[in-house]
Amino acid sequence: MSPAPDEALAAFKRISRTKSRSRRPLLTEALWKEAIETRTARIGVVGMGYVGLPLMRTFCATGFQCIGFDVDTAKVTKLNAGRSYIKHIPSSLIKEVVSKGMFVASDDPSVLGECDAILVCVPTPLSKSRDPDMRYVESTSHLIADHLRRGQLVVLESTTYPGTTRDLVKPILETSGLTAEKDFFLAYSPEREDPGRVDFTTETIPKVVGGFGPTSLAAACSLYGAAVSQAVPVSSCEVAEASKLLENIYRCVNIALINEMKILFDRLGIDVSEVVRAASTKPFGFQPFYPGPGLGGHCIPIDPFYLSWKARQHGLTTRFIELAGEINTAMPEYVVAKLAEGLNAGKKAINGSKILVLGLAYKKDVDDIRESPSVVLIEMLKARGAKVDYNDPFIPRTPKQREHNLGMTSKKLTEKMLGGYDCVMIATDHTSYDYDWIVKHAKLVLDTRNATATVKRGRKKIVKA
């Protein structure tokens, strides 16, 4: 295991000494309140990704010392050197908290024993059969159990099915010989990150908190209440777990509805985006959702199926969830079919055509490609014999993912190169793209995001998908 750089570790230890307190277990609400008010409670964050890094930033900003644990040694090295690998978390911020001794990253699980609160932000993907893949939560729980001590608070933030904290995490933690609510505290508080969003941040989004018992709830609410605008207590871990699923299922179902309307309205010769704009003028009873080439991000394409799986265990079916998943999953096929129509009009086939995909991220102005429909589209086009390149200003090369490894690099946009492709597909509507310029120099544009809505010249080259 690679140690943290000497400077980062030395600064961290120096601050630790100035903030030191007796290592008495924080077994009462009063002791937790004291540790939080004096900022002597040390926060551990497991998983230094799109959830863990913003969470660390939030606690450091309010005066807490944080330890970031991750099994990825490369991430640990970058963080301790003051370098960020996530676009909306600037390196200057990482460098500042490291240099001040407020944060250190480590791949050594023994650091978990040094923390008073351990916040777990690890992935919860689906298996190929759409069952919950809990291996990251399980392995993390075992690591924590190996170093668990009396008075610690453990909070799971990863999105999951109701019952995970009580039925999966708690028994593993109790293999330590300690008992939840008596010797240590256990809670669930779902992450609500939305990468790239500027109107809300981790600090300003209310935090739902469910405790395994009343003392666990009080400790967790006190901790989050010191760092975010509002801690929202609920009666159990299960309620908190279910609330996150409901949030994402709501979006999944409504996005599926608007995707289905897009297909129908296209057949009727109606612009779905204009329909949405018109309906949005109603000041009540309607919330706009927008169609796209498919669902992306770690939450909406995955989380609803956690509840479907749980429902099946109780002999129930979740028809809305399954139908929404079917519609959203089929959107890349619809996009490819529209591409075939556009190429066919110019007496071309997908097989052998050169296609440029604009935007690899799952949504605009971020560098996050988790579950991105762009990745699926590229693989589908290659399977059909197309020669595919991509451009994304935020993703210079494609990272290796659990189920995808494109091995591609972003191509620089020029007038000549745009004209060299049989079709330019707008898969992600980054605001940095000049869509007038793109349409002007491309032979054919397939627009999956209504990004060319204001383009006036060359509209005959644009195919909506």
Do residue 165 and residue 282 come from a single domain? no
Number of domains in the chain: 2
For residue 105, list its beta bridge partners: 68
Question: 190: domain CATH number?
Answer: 3.40.50.720
Residue ranges for the chain with pLDDT beneath 50: 1-3
Do residue 170 and residue 136 come from a single domain? yes
Give the range of the structural domain holding residue 366, as residue numbers without chain letter: 256-464
Domain end position, chosen among 187, 209, 241: 241
pLDDT at 347: 94
| Cα–Cα dist 97/94, whole Å | 6
Structure tokens at 225: 């209440």
Contact 370, 338 (CB under 8 A): no
Domain end position, chosen among 241, 265, 298: 241
Do residue 182 and residue 271 come from a single domain? no
CA-based end-to-end distance of the chain? 48
Do residue 217 and residue 290 come from a single domain? no
Contact 157, 55 (CB under 8 A): yes
Structure tokens at 270: 């109606």
Do residue 154 and residue 213 come from a single domain? yes
Do residue 236 and residue 276 come from a single domain? no
Q: Name which of 145, 166, 135 is nearest 239 in CA terms.
A: 166
Dihedral (Cα; 175, 181, 184, 185), 10-degree rounding: 110
Active site annotation includes 299: yes
Residue 250 belongs to a domain: no
Do residue 290 and residue 183 come from a single domain? no
Residues written for the chain: 465
Residue 128 belongs to a domain: yes
Structure tokens at 132: 């919950």
Q: Name which of 152, 123, 119, 116 is nearest 137 in CA terms.
A: 123
Domain end position, chosen among 215, 241, 267: 241
| Cα–Cα dist 337/354, whole Å | 16
Listing from the earlier edge strand, what are the strands of the sheet with 207-211?
A: 103-106, 66-69, 43-46, 117-120, 153-156, 185-188, 207-211, 231-234
Do residue 44 and residue 191 come from a single domain? yes
Residue 246 belongs to a domain: no
pLDDT at 59: 97
Mutual orientation of helices 304-313 and 237-267 as an angle, nearest 10°?
110
Residue 247 belongs to a domain: no
Q: Name which of 277, 272, 291 is nearest 330 in CA terms.
A: 291
Q: Name which of 275, 303, 437, 291 is nearest 358 in CA terms.
A: 437
Residue 355 belongs to a domain: yes
Handedness of CA 89, 106, 369, 228 (dihedral sign): negative
Query: Which of the residues 66, 252, 299, 423 is marked catalytic?
Result: 299
Do residue 285 and residue 182 come from a single domain? no
Contact 185, 219 (CB under 8 A): yes
Q: Name which of 58, 36, 29 is nearest 45 in CA terms.
A: 58
CA angle (337 as vertex; 288, 319 as ends), nearest 5: 50
| Cα–Cα dist 178/191, whole Å | 27
Residue 209 belongs to a domain: yes
For strands 207-211 and 185-188, give the pairing.
Answer: antiparallel
Do residue 277 and residue 361 come from a single domain? yes
- Quick: pLDDT tens for 415-431: 999 999 999 999 999 99
Please write down the HEC assignment for all residues of 84-136: CCCCCCCHHHHHHHHHCCCEEEECCHHHHHHCCEEEECCCCCECCCCCECCHH
Do residue 237 and residue 261 come from a single domain? no
Query: What's the whole-model pTM score?
Result: 0.90
For residue 462, list its beta bridge partners: 445
pLDDT at 129: 76
pLDDT at 15: 61
